[in-house]
Structure 1
Amino acid sequence: MNKQIAYINQSQSVGLDIIRFSSAQLVIWGHLLNYYFGYHNSPASLLGNGKLFIQNLGVVVFFILSGYLIGHSVLRQHKKNAEHPFLEYFIDRFSRIYVTLVPCLLLIVSIDYANISLSDSYAYLNSYDLFHFLGSFLMLQDFPYEIFDGVTSFGSARPLWTLAVEWWLYLAIGWCILCFPSEKESGALYFVVLSFFLIVPFYNIYGGRGNGIGLLFIFSAFSLWCKYNIRIFKLTNLHLFLILLVFIALTINRFVKVGYFYDFLGMVLILIDFLVTISILSNLNIFNNQYPLLKLLAGSSYALYITHYSIIDLYMKNFKINNMIIDLIVPYSISMVIAILVWLLFDRHYRIVSMKLKSLLSRKLKPVLIKFK
């Protein structure tokens, strides 16, 4: 396997941070504008009349970005030839997700409790209980085919539906590649576990809330394999830039025509735009320095994505004064500050948690570990 598979250069890293931050901003501003102006009058709708909401574009880009990075993570883990490759991969993903999710869920418990205490119009009372809290913690919210019937996102944490989809995609892709049985091994356990992991991804491949957004994630994840194993011809940056302009034009034309961002062909066009952009950045050295502020803002995007909706709902239901500038800037600023604090206190330490968990399993549980290989 090519040694460069796990490598992201400085220009690409900065570009990915810009994309991550921009996506989160599209989501929070889309929800802010919807809350203040109302769904059908919101400037977040690029075409008006409830069409092409910018927050949906942000979600699409988040899925593409996550898929691309998971592709890197899986291929890097595969290259290491570790004794328990899937277990190490699982610990990395678990730490990345839950180090931030747990404090954010507890924060949402407090935010929603304040909302319930102050407002008679809290809309999520039916899902504000221990049952839905545990369901969201275990990534069972909106599980398809009524297997866990009635479980939806906890309280006002509406964006958590996307996190559950991504979690099961993480597991399915990691298991599929890292645990593929050899000729001497029985594939029975492999396919049983893979079948369970694929329930949510399969539902979101042919439909689901994002209209096939799960398949977009998979395309993005496996784009790296294609890049390093299917080399037809090499393109210069000029060629790539011209291709990017053409596909941006096709993307805009498609979305204007269909009127919504969860259109599968349109999402594939965004994926192509993304991959061409990353390819251009791989050949450039325009970002040679570290950018701490960008790293901070991009790093806090995960916590921002989870918590912003609850903060906006609390403010708009109880503190709105019908001054557009104040009513947009105050909940936005609070959301950003809280997200940055979560990143500083928890999120940025997930690698330390991951290493400690691996060390603990290696020392204490090695005799009883199933050998995932």
Structure 2
Amino acid sequence: MDGSKNDTSLALDALRAIAAQMVCIGHGISFFLPELRQSGLPLPQNVGVLLFFVLSGFLISYTLLEKSRNPSYTFLQFFIDRAARIYSALVPCLLLVVLVDTGTIWLIGDRVLEGSRSPTIFLANLLMIETYRGPLEHLSLLRWPIIGSASPLWTLVIEWHIYLFVGALFFIGATPARATVLIPIAIIFGQIPLHYMFGALQEDNGLGRSLFTLWLAGAYSYVVLRSVALQSRTLGALLAVGSIVAYVATTRAYLEYKPITYPFLVLFVLGVVVATQPGRIVASPWPAKIVRFFAGYSFTLYLIHHTLMYPAFLLWKDGGWLIFIPAVLVANVVAAVVATYTESRHKQLAQWLQRRISRIQFFVRGEPGIRIRDAQ
């Protein structure tokens, strides 16, 4: 996925940006244009979430397999990279959620928000243990709701636990000497992903069903492409177009979380990758700049759009297009501004964390720790 040789990296960034916009627009439709959902077509917000999981599996598989070629790449470095990527956006977004929700309660009033706000709920969301599903869900310690209006956070919990579970398993195989440390991590963080092999967030309507299975399919698709090395624009384009047409034709609204439809989304991403592997298509730098711009704040947009739209929904839920368009635009503008100082600097945060941990390792064990040049 070398950006100097082909457009695959750019295409995946474009898919990431599109997925975030689908979730944002889909929730905007649910808030302000609910009549559009009667078309029977798949709901954009659900398709966007599913696409995120396919892309995540594909990219994490790429990261682990390619970076592990360097013998100095460890689970600790993987953890730092993932933590910096997630928390660079999560922390400021949680603070923004608290700020916006507080204003909503004071100015408009909403009992739903009032019942899901407390320091302990904030901490649970910060640690990403809210909406826990697994063998210990009967414990009150793990029964935490999503904070306020930040409803998209339920998927982030699943993603985070998948990262650490899969990462731990990978490095148990790669470095068996570290198994005594990594096995407990796999046991702790494997509970939520294993539930989502076949289970759901809400069993009554199947919301979130088999998301880990979908993630694994995305991860395995990279392994397949790495082995077979398919490079055909025609084949890739046919696969991408054919699979998305088949998906739309077979998937109905509110039934997006049926695993039988997931292969079409995986094949779609595979098709895009295969079509963009042979070489560069986009010669001008401007399309790349546009894609990188929208992809650069996609995670922040995903986290905060619902919170930003919710007050408008309480005030003007019958506003239709007149409210829908400004709401989507405001969500994008705010996300882009916030991400400029947070999400877009996740690599700098990772490097800062690596330096601090290296110093701790040196003082505690007299070891040089992580070498920054190896971790980049």
Q: TM-score range by the shorter chain?
A: 0.7 to 0.9
Partner of 1:75: 65
Taking the aligned partners of 1:344 and 1:189, their CA distance within structure 2 comes to 36
Structure 1 residue 44: deviation in Å?
4.0
Tell me the secondary structure at the aligned position of residue 173 of structure 2.
Answer: coil
Letter in 2 for 1:292: K
Q: Is 1:85 aligned with 2:67?
A: no
Match runs of 1:1-373 below 5 Å: 7=2, 9-38=5-34, 41=35, 43-44=36-37, 46-47=39-40, 52-82=42-72, 85-145=74-134, 146=137, 147=139, 148-180=141-173, 185=177, 187-209=179-201, 210-229=208-227, 231=228, 234=230, 236-256=232-252, 260-290=255-285, 291-318=288-315, 320=316, 322-366=318-362, 368=364
Taking the aligned partners of 1:186 and 1:90, their CA distance within structure 2 comes to 15
Taking the aligned partners of 2:13 and 2:241, their CA distance within structure 1 comes to 22
When residues 118 and 77 of structure 1 are mapped into structure 2, their CA distance, relative to the original with a 3 A threshold, is same
When residues 266 and 107 of structure 1 are mapped into structure 2, their CA distance, relative to the original with a 3 A threshold, is same
Of 92-101 and 276-285, more deviation after overlay is shown by 276-285
Taking the aligned partners of 1:360 and 1:87, their CA distance within structure 2 comes to 13
Tell me the secondary structure at the aligned position of residue 123 of structure 1.
Answer: helix
> Contact 1:180 / 1:190 at 8 angstroms: preserved in 2?
no
Of 163-172 and 144-153, more deviation after overlay is shown by 144-153
> Contact 2:172 / 2:178 at 8 angstroms: preserved in 1?
no
Q: Give the % identical residues.
A: 24
Taking the aligned partners of 2:180 and 2:49, their CA distance within structure 1 comes to 36
Question: Which 5+ residue runs of structure 2 have no aligned equivalent?
Answer: 202-207, 371-376
Alpha-carbon displacement from aligned partner over 1:172-216 (angstroms, at most 9, x marks no partner): 111111232656x48454433212121110011111221101111
Aligned length: 355
Taking the aligned partners of 2:114 and 2:11, their CA distance within structure 1 comes to 40
When residues 299 and 85 of structure 1 are mapped into structure 2, their CA distance, relative to the original with a 3 A threshold, is same
Alpha-carbon displacement from aligned partner over 1:60-93 (angstroms, at most 9, x marks no partner): 11111122111122123311211x6110111111
Partner of 1:3: none
CA RMSD of aligned residues (A): 2.5
Taking the aligned partners of 2:74 and 2:249, their CA distance within structure 1 comes to 43
Alpha-carbon displacement from aligned partner over 1:198-242 (angstroms, at most 9, x marks no partner): 11100111112211011111221232222223x3x8563333333
Taking the aligned partners of 2:86 and 2:222, their CA distance within structure 1 comes to 22
TM-score normalised to structure 1 length: 0.87
TM-score normalised to structure 2 length: 0.87
Taking the aligned partners of 1:14 and 1:44, their CA distance within structure 2 comes to 31
When residues 362 and 110 of structure 1 are mapped into structure 2, their CA distance, relative to the original with a 3 A threshold, is same
> Contact 1:21 / 1:301 at 8 angstroms: preserved in 2?
yes
When residues 238 and 136 of structure 1 are mapped into structure 2, their CA distance, relative to the original with a 3 A threshold, is same
